[in-house]
Amino acid sequence: MLPFSAACERNKQPILAVLRHWLPLAARVLEIGSGSGQHAVYFCQQLAGLHWQPSDRSAYLPGLGERIAREGGPDPGPANPDWRPLAAGAVLAEPLELDVDCLDHWPQPPFDAVFSANTLHIMPAASVPQLLAGAARSLRAGGVLLLYGPFNDGGVASSSNNVAFDAQLRSLDPAMGIRDAQQIRAEARRLGFEPLADVAMPAHNRTLVFAAADGGSR
Ligand SMILES: C[S@@+](CC[C@H](N)C(=O)[O-])C[C@H]1O[C@@H](n2cnc3c(N)ncnc32)[C@H](O)[C@@H]1O
């Protein structure tokens, strides 16, 4: 059975609206922590000319690869009546192994965008600057970084739901926990990113949008 995330089904449309606003036409996008692959497939079904490179840590690759092969390829006919075609000219690439902490996993730049959903509160806090630094290396000048998920601000949670979610994460693994948007912005600025937007999303989530340096400062 394919891995499945109910959250992805709920958030894919609001995230698509953000992508439509911020991605250039026919964007080449690197996704970090693709998980079940539902976002990758859906965005490629919706955005013509998109080139999407999914990735994740090795343990996630078999399930992710299976979804991309089944839903990103040609029509399998009656074997999968739920199959939908990709948008015109869209390309959904075979998933890459990418752990943000492994320098040699990062693919050759340049990408027009780096996207990651619901990963920063799962990876240890020390990995977040690695994701930002990898994104800075991977993006072309002026390319965009989009980070979707729950965030705190200056140590303050944006809802009681997020306080409970943070406690639940930390009880499962003390290395997990909701990250702070102010700290992320500070680290991103240090890497030459310009914060462009902080988009409020359903269920107390946000999308932080940054532009990569115009060159020289990375
Ligand atoms: C809650 S899942 C989110 C998956 C998917 N993006 C979504 O929105 O459903 C968290 C993801 O973060 C990924 N992740 C955690 N630590 C990571 C790391 N060090 N490098 C890359 N991905 C990581 C996990 O492998 C997993 O795919």
Q: What pLDDT, on the 0 to 100 scale, is given for residue 214? A: 78
| pLDDT tens digits along 151-195 | 999 999 989 999 999 999 999 999 999 999 999 999 999 999 999
CB of 55 within 6 A of ligand 1: the answer is no
With residue 198 as reference, give the H or E element that holds it. strand 194-201
Within a domain: residue 148?
yes
Question: Ligand 1, closest atom to CA 11?
Answer: 8
Within a domain: residue 177?
yes
SS3 assignment, position 37: coil
Rounded distance between C-alpha atoms, residue 170 and residue 158, angstroms: 17
CB of 35 within 6 A of ligand 1: the answer is yes
Is residue 180 a contact partner of residue 207, using CB atoms and an 8 Å limit?
Answer: no
Within a domain: residue 125?
yes
| pLDDT tens digits along 64-89 | 999 999 999 889 999 888 899 999 99
Q: What pLDDT, on the 0 to 100 scale, is given for residue 215? A: 54
Q: What is the mean pLDDT of residues 80-101?
A: 96
Give the Cα-Cα-Cα angle 111, 124, 150 (nearest 5 degrees).
70
Number of domains, the chain:
1
Asked if the model's pLDDT at residue 197 lies above 60, the reply is: yes
Within a domain: residue 173?
yes
6-22 vs 38-46: helix axis angle to the nearest 10?
Answer: 40
SS3 assignment, position 95: coil
Within a domain: residue 216?
no
Q: What pLDDT, on the 0 to 100 scale, is given for residue 144? A: 98
Determine the structural domain holding residue 159 and report its residue range: 6-211
Within a domain: residue 155?
yes
Q: Enter the pTM of the model.
A: 0.97
Question: Ligand 1, closest atom to CA 131?
Answer: 20
CB of 149 within 6 A of ligand 1: the answer is no
Within a domain: residue 163?
yes
CATH of the domain at 46: 3.40.50.150
Is residue 25 a contact partner of residue 49, using CB atoms and an 8 Å limit?
Answer: yes
Q: How far is CA 196 from the centre of its chain?
A: 17
| pLDDT tens digits along 105-155 | 999 999 999 999 999 999 999 999 999 999 999 999 999 999 999 999 999
Within a domain: residue 218?
no
Structure tokens belonging to residue 10: 């709920």
CA atoms within 13 A on the CB side of 30: 28
